[in-house]
Amino acid sequence: MLRHPDEMSGGIGPRNLSMRKKFIAGNWKMNTSSISAEMLASGVVKGLGSETRVDVAVCPPFPFLARVAQVVKGTHVALGAQNCYPKDEGAFTGEVSPPMLVDIGCQLVFVGHSERRQIFKETDAFINNKVHAALKAKLKVILCIGETLDERKANLTETVLDTQLTGSLANITSALLKNMVLAYEPVWAIGTGVNATPLQAQDAHAFVRNRVGQLCGESAAQSLIIQYGGSVKPDNAADLLCQPDVDGALVGGASLRPEDFLGIVRAGIR
């Protein structure tokens, strides 16, 4: 009789790894309409069915959150927002607060996506404020980090990740880290069709886990889900997701088609 891989391993390493359930999140960015958002969410809900071996979330644009909340209510698909402002309420025209996101049914929020860092010049200190505000509102936070192509070419990947982690995780205790997910998203791989190789992803994830261990505590870092993001597709997902420190995927383009997104979800089950 074939034994479960966990039973075959004597050490604690693989057991630890198997405790981290894969988590696949779809970042719809500034795409969809009210109708197509609802259809996309329905497609994901139907395709996922009662599957619970992998965690799944969809993250529509702000205007469609409430509508999608109705579609995913009572299902295994979680709802996330793509951004928040680090205050509960007040004179911040055009912004959306973490308690508002909770109010309309969100369970999680991205913070520090590279598009926000680059286009909107968000700093690590500002991102750290958002992390704390979102956690205070009881949202799960997906904190995104990653280097640009120039930084990688200049051999600065670890320096950049170190700076982003140190700044964005300021005053994050091991207890707070339990409500966080990290997403390693090399900027050069986002929306380019060029994904990091499984080994490049694994190296970066191992570095991130080690550094988070130093910052927030070793055991919290061992349980931390670290997603990979950047041109994840159904045909490259399995190779990325089988790396020991790659615990899921943050999916942009391929999350806009239910069959592609579900293909990536299925790759997380194997």
Does residue 32 belong to the site contacting ligand PGA (CB under 6 A)? no
Tell me the closest approach of the beta carbon of residue 228 to ligand PGA, in angstroms. 10
42, 47, 53, 58 alpha-carbon torsion, rounded to 10°: -30
Question: Going by C-beta distance under 8 Å and a sequence separation of 6 or more, which residues neighbour residue 172?
Answer: 131, 132, 180, 215, 216
Nearer to ligand PGA, 226 or 250 (CB): 250
Residue 23's nearest CA partner among 256, 208, 227 is: 227
Catalytic member of 115, 147, 151, 185: 185
- Is residue 37 a contact partner of residue 64, using CB atoms and an 8 Å limit? yes
Kindly give, in sequence order, each residue whose CB lies less than 8 Å from that of residue 244, ignoring residues fewer than 6 positions away.
Answer: 13, 17, 202, 206
Applying CB under 6 A, which of residues 252, 258, 264, 267 lies at the interface with ligand PGA?
252
Choose between 177 and 251: whose C-beta lies nearer to ligand PGA: 251
Residue 251 is a binding residue for ligand PGA (CB under 6 A): yes
Among 55, 124, 151, 185, binds ligand PGA (CB under 6 A): 185
| Identity of the residue, 173 or 192, whose beta carbon is nearer to ligand PGA in the bound complex | 192
DSSP per residue over 106-154, as a string? --EEEE--HHHHHHS---HHHHHHHHHHHHHTT-EEEEEE---HHHHHT
Backbone angles phi, psi at 23, to 5 degrees: -130, 115
Cβ distance to ligand PGA smaller for residue 117 or 216: 117
Our CB check for ligand PGA shows the closer of 65 and 145 to be: 145
- Cα–chain-centroid distance for residue 128? 16
CA neighbor of 269 nearest in space, from 252, 248, 250: 248
Nearer to ligand PGA, 26 or 220 (CB): 26
> Could you tell me the smallest distance in angstroms from the CB atom of residue 31 to ligand PGA?
10
Q: How many Cβ atoms are within 10 Å of 173's Cβ, its own excluded?
A: 12
Angle, vertex CA 131, rays to CA 65 and CA 208, nearest 5: 110
CA–CA separation, 234 vs 54, rounded Å? 15
Selected from 37, 250, 262, 264, the binder of ligand PGA by CB under 6 A is 250
Window contacting ligand PGA (CB under 6 A); options: 10-18, 39-47, 131-139, 250-258: 250-258
Q: Which of 97, 200, 231, 236 binds ligand PGA (CB under 6 A)?
A: 231
Tell me which stretch binds ligand PGA (CB under 6 A): 92-100, 124-132, 206-214, 229-237.
229-237
Structure letter (DSSP) for residue 61: -
Find the binder of ligand PGA among 186, 229, 248, 268 (CB under 6 A).
229
Active site residue 205: no
Round to whole Å and give the CA distance between 202 and 186: 12
186 binds ligand PGA per the rule CB under 6 A? no
Is 89 a residue of the active site?
Answer: no
Residue nearest to ligand PGA (CB): 252
Q: Contact residues for ligand PGA (CB under 6 A)?
A: 27, 185, 190-191, 229-232, 250-254
**Catalytic annotation, residues:** 113, 185
